Chains A and B, each alone.
Chain A
Amino acid sequence: MEKRSLLQRFIARPEFGPFVLLAILLIVFYVINPTFLSTLNIGNVLAFAPELGIIALAMTLLLTAGEIDLSVGSVFGFSAVIMWTLFNSGVASLEIAFVLAMALSLVIGFCSGFMVTRMKIPSFLVTLGMLLVVRGSALYITDGFPQRTWDASGSWLAELLVGDFYIGELRVWASLLWFILLAVIIGYVLTQTKRGNWILASGGNANSARARGVRVNATKISLFMLTAALAAFAGIISSIRTSAANPNSGTGYELEVIAMVVIGGTSMAGGRGTIIGTVLGVFILRIMRNGIILIGVPGLAYNIFVGAIILGMMALHSWLERRHNAGV
């Protein structure tokens, strides 16, 4: 096999496509409407992107391990509702309510993982069921009403999760720092550690991994738990930032998150995943949503562009794969 040049190797990487796409989007939006790159607008994008982005990081690992979780949007809404219901009804302090909501999300993730690995039910079906159970629970607990909004200022927990500060004129939320921290940790785990190798092996060829002593079931269950926990974490962050805990919030997020992950170059079939790609995918979709409105495309047309981009990226990934693995 001949040595490839640095450029060729860069092009062959799964992150190359999303990287180019993100660059094109930034340039096009900026040329059409220069306020796109104003500090105010960048601040807006950076406020919302981490919330879906945190879920996308966990979803990347889950897809890499060959599984999927459709219940993340429900868990996103449910956990915030649980936390605020416990707090508003005086059952628990905010900190205790936070811990309980997170613990409940781990139980949800464990149940999904258990049914997928031990009962051998496809994760698509298990988490579709879980989506309805969790969303239904959120609606039932609240009678369908949003939880009382609450002024988050003053709580150290709220400050830790979504406090904000300014860098010059740029308003930065703590949730962005959480996203960066989690992206670094999860990216490190996936590419550099034994646990990461197990995730890749579980998704690539579960039977042979198992025969080699890889604990496939434990790996997958822990990823379902991580995904549910990060969906809950993101939901709680979102509820504090917007001062609202609506039992319907997060509806449809599962598909947007999955779209972010696959646009970034992670394989739906398992065995291949990239956190860098996911971060790019997160910003591609958030910047699309933001930029399309700024340049005057009707907001209702947003989904046409997202859909077209997903299809285009899939075509590009498949083309690059065939080109660089030619002769296999």
Chain B
Amino acid sequence: MTDLVRMEHIEKYFGRVQALNDVSFNVKEREIVGLLGDNGAGKSTLIKILSGALTATSGDIYIKDQKADIRNTGDAIRYGIETIYQDSALVPQLSIARNLFMGREPVKGRFGQLDQAHMNEVASNLLKQVGISKPIPPTTPISALSGGERQAVAIARAMYFESDLIILDEPTNNLGVEETQGVLRFVRNARDSGHSCIFIAHNIYHVFQVVDRIVVLRRGKKVADDIDPKKTTIEAVEHIITGMVEA
């Protein structure tokens, strides 16, 4: 498998505080990478650099072996990197279909009319594809959906717009057991249809259930890169995160 995204020798300073110290990180095609680390380990900083919310002090990013220049979130989206934050980037008052196509609305005719029939049809199919079990009309406002369903819509949007890499930042926070299983299923479905994912979660159990590989950061440094969740235990990974054991 080739690298989809490669971050090399990333350093990030906030004033004199070093948040990332020579971190190199890669995601292969069709791979779900779990990014773990305690609070302040640098997970969010690393992800924000990749998604354009922050810029690195030094270091390079390569996407499909081409050097990438990501200065803002718009750049990242153009490079095929979609970030789904907690309480994901949806407009609660608008319908599922309108959220899916936000910023890239299909229009027809001379007066900029939205092609709502097309939007609704695509939305219905996507919701099925992402794995939402109960039928939800695409005209339902986001505010009427549960937390897990909202994650599903955000993931569906990333899949539809051919995002190569979907970054999920704490997608299972505040979700119930069943909802969490749903989100994990959406993530697997996304990988199976050809997308790569970075999965960040405090809950190691959730990470273990879904990822292909685990990367651990501690105090701004990468301390483990190639942990196979099938060949290790949660306790062992916990010890690496807290620094009790060096990887």
Contact in complex: B114, A211 (CB < 8 Å): no
CA distance A265 to B91 in the complex (A): 19
Contact in complex: A200, B94 (CB < 8 Å): yes
A134-182 residues at the B interface, CB under 8 angstroms: none
Contact in complex: A209, B103 (CB < 8 Å): yes
CA distance A173 to B113 in the complex (A): 31
Given A197-B114, A213-B103, A328-B143: A205 touches B73 (CB 8 Å cut-off)? no
Q: Mark A246-281, 1 if CB is under 8 A from B, else 0.
A: 000000000000000000000100011000000000
Which residue of the partner chain, among A1, A194, A271, contacts B93 with CB atoms under 8 Å?
Answer: A271
Contact in complex: B91, A208 (CB < 8 Å): yes
Query: For residue B101, which residues in chain A have a CB less than 8 angstroms away from its CB?
Result: 197
A323 at the interface (CB under 8 A from B): no
Q: Mark B162-174, 1 if CB is under 8 A from A, else 0.
A: 0000000000000
Contact in complex: B113, A212 (CB < 8 Å): no
B87-113 residues at the A interface, CB under 8 angstroms: 88-94, 98, 101-105, 107, 111-113
Residue count of chain B within 8 Å CB distance of chain A:
27
Residue contacts A-B, CB under 8 angstroms, 29 given = A1-B136, A1-B137, A193-B107, A193-B114, A194-B107, A194-B114, A197-B114, A200-B91, A200-B93, A200-B94, A200-B98, A201-B94, A201-B98, A201-B102, A204-B92, A205-B91, A205-B92, A208-B102, A209-B91, A209-B102, A211-B77, A212-B77, A212-B89, A212-B102, A213-B77, A213-B104, A214-B102, A267-B93, A328-B143
Interface of B is mostly: loop
Contact in complex: B92, A271 (CB < 8 Å): yes
Contact in complex: A192, B140 (CB < 8 Å): no
Contact in complex: B105, A194 (CB < 8 Å): yes
Contact in complex: A197, B105 (CB < 8 Å): yes
Query: For residue A196, which residues in chain B have a CB less than 8 angstroms away from its CB?
Result: 114
Contact in complex: B143, A272 (CB < 8 Å): no
Given A211-B73, A213-B77, A325-B144: A197 touches B92 (CB 8 Å cut-off)? no
Query: For residue B104, which residues in chain A have a CB less than 8 angstroms away from its CB?
Result: 212-213
B74 at the interface (CB under 8 A from A): yes
Q: Chain B residue with minimal CB distance to A3?
A: B137
Given A1-B140, A194-B112: A212 touches B103 (CB 8 Å cut-off)? yes
B32-90 residues at the A interface, CB under 8 angstroms: 73-74, 77, 88-90
Q: Mark A76-103, 1 if CB is under 8 A from B, else 0.
A: 0000000000000000000000000000
Q: How far is the CB of A149 from chain B (nearest CB, A)?
A: 41
CA distance A160 to B73 in the complex (A): 48
Which residue of the partner chain, among A195, A201, A213, contacts B112 with CB atoms under 8 Å?
Answer: A195
A318 at the interface (CB under 8 A from B): no
A39 at the interface (CB under 8 A from B): no
Q: Chain B residue with minimal CB distance to A194?
A: B105
CA distance A317 to B105 in the complex (A): 30
A1-16 residues at the B interface, CB under 8 angstroms: 1
Query: For residue A195, which residues in chain B have a CB less than 8 angstroms away from its CB?
Result: 112
Query: For residue B113, which residues in chain A have a CB less than 8 angstroms away from its CB?
Result: 192-193
CA distance A213 to B116 in the complex (A): 19
A303 at the interface (CB under 8 A from B): no
Contact in complex: A204, B94 (CB < 8 Å): yes
Contact in complex: A193, B102 (CB < 8 Å): no
CA distance A159 to B93 in the complex (A): 42
Contact in complex: A272, B93 (CB < 8 Å): yes
Q: How far is the CB of A1 from chain B (nearest CB, A)?
A: 6
A33 at the interface (CB under 8 A from B): no
A38 at the interface (CB under 8 A from B): no
Query: For residue B107, which residues in chain A have a CB less than 8 angstroms away from its CB?
Result: 193-194
Query: For residue B116, which residues in chain A have a CB less than 8 angstroms away from its CB?
Result: 192
CA distance A90 to B4 in the complex (A): 70
